[in-house]
Chains A and B, each alone.
Chain A
Amino acid sequence: MLKVENMNVYYGNIHAIKDISFEVAEGEIVTLIGANGAGKSTILKTISGLLRSKTGSITFKNDAIDHTVSHAIVKRGLAHVPEGRRVFLQMSVQENLEMGNYTQQKSTMHERMEDVYAHFPRLKERRKQVAGTLSGGEQQMLAMGRALMSQPKLLMLDEPSMGLAPLLVEHIFEIIEELHNSGVTILLVEQNANMALTVADRGYVLETGRITLTDDAKALLANDAVRKAYLGG
């Protein structure tokens, strides 16, 4: 479904992403794990067109998207839940979801909004509330719900567990599995390698802009080097 080949991204003179290639097949949950600053968010931003790779290609559903503007990429069914949630704090929950619907038909919006509310009942209770008054966990739910409004085939999640209490992290990961079961392919970027590898099919380990290891998620969970570096021994 998604194929990244020879991605090289620079911030000025800094070579942030070094010749990375990976793929995500339809129906998979794939995770990119790595420490802070390894380049995980940069990869997602490049896929969704906010940054550009100097070389290589990005293919989504057999179309090259590495020269497509980001607002057109969403329309093709690739949604990106950015790091730090980035919900529109001054807009209501419902308006945030309407923004998620921006590329989609208005006639079926309410149906899809109800679907989102079914995944996140808490959002329905707070639909008139301004997003800035939500808790961190609720904002994460809203960010994910907003992305779901665009009917994505592939959902990219950047650190959905960041800053959340352990109980909420578990809840968010349950929802990720729920979404996966409903047919959404997922590319998950996480620092919480343990949780990410538990739900994922496959994983890539990222170190300072390079992929150093890739395997089935179960194998990575059992891998000594991974355990030592990311899973606290």
Chain B
Amino acid sequence: MLLVSQLINGLQLGSIYALVALGYTMVYGIIKLLNFAHGDIIMVGGYIALFSLTAGHFHPAVAALLTVGGCTLLAVILEKLTYAPLRFAPRLSLLITAIGISILLQNVAQFFFGAAPRSLPYRELFPVGSVTIGEFSIAYTSLVTIILSVVSMVALTILVQRTKLGKAMRAVSEDTEAAQLMGVNVNNVITFTFAVGAALAGIGALLYGARFPLVTPTIGAMLGLKAFIAAVLGGIGSIPGAMVGGYAVGLLEVLTVFAGLSRWTDGLVFLVLIIVLLVRPTGLMGRKFMEKV
């Protein structure tokens, strides 16, 4: 009974991690950048949701669209301003830039909004209450989170597997130069990848807000780190890997709490990551083709 509701809890948290992890893994797949500013995009999304509800008094649907749109726009602007000029720079320059943007976003948020947590009126965004099936009751927020995440992931999979743009993304990710020779405008594809990752992060921001409805300038940091672990655990660069990794981390966290080890949650997540990487250095779903010469 209690275990079942904890499992649902874990699926809810895992859904959020998976959505955020997808942003890491897609950007890594395409330009080999660990985009450490990705978590902070979620933080910005949190503030957009907060202010569009409290200050703007927008309809919740409008607030949600502004959040997702705002995250996407921010990521595209950051990509064009900071990463695009570094296209031919060493990878390390990109990584340091990402860390710099992360620090910048956190400090700008703190400067304008203060360090004190502000509470997000998430009840305006999500229906309150729960569904009861027999003896189980599932909160609407859990249900919405799980369904919305799965829908987003299915949509992403269709985009990447079936559409022309998605195939171009895979081609650029595998061999940028060869993709160019096919006629792919690589810069556009990279920007698009950032945009898709950030849109998923925007959805993640809303869902995260429903679970932990306090917005601070640093909420993105820990969430980002967890999602990053999920992406590495699943195999960085692999889209199904990020999904599996997200659910794995979410369930693991909730189950350690359930087992009475709540003080060890974060430690155990890292421990599992280390063990998986020792056994499978490419992560759970990561794989490498041997190139034939």
Contact = CB atoms under 8 A, between A and B. Distances in A.
Interface of A: 48-50, 69-72, 74-75, 79-80, 82, 84, 86-91, 95, 98-100, 102-103, 106, 130, 132, 134-136, 139, 146, 150, 163
B174 A91 contact: yes
A178 to B, nearest CB: 22
B177 A102 contact: no
Interface of B is mostly: helix
Interface residues of B, number: 22
A88 B174 contact: yes
B211 interface: no
14 contacts: A48-B181, A50-B177, A50-B181, A71-B180, A71-B185, A75-B183, A79-B181, A82-B181, A86-B175, A88-B174, A88-B175, A89-B174, A132-B290, A136-B293
Nearest to A132: B289
A86 B177 contact: yes
A116 to B, nearest CB: 14
Contacts of B171: 88, 91, 99
Interface of B: 164, 167-168, 170-171, 174-175, 177-186, 289-293
A102 B183 contact: yes
B276 to A, nearest CB: 22
A20 to B, nearest CB: 21
Given A71-B185, A98-B167, A89 B180 contact: no
Contacts of A48: 181
A48 B179 CA distance: 12
Nearest to B292: A136
Contacts of A90: 170, 174, 289
Top 3 closest pairs, chain A to chain B, by CB: A103-B183, A132-B289, A74-B183
A100 to B, nearest CB: 6
Given A91-B167, A106-B164, A136-B292, 13 more contacts: A50-B177, A50-B180, A69-B185, A71-B180, A71-B183, A74-B183, A88-B178, A89-B174, A89-B289, A98-B164, A99-B171, A102-B182, A132-B291
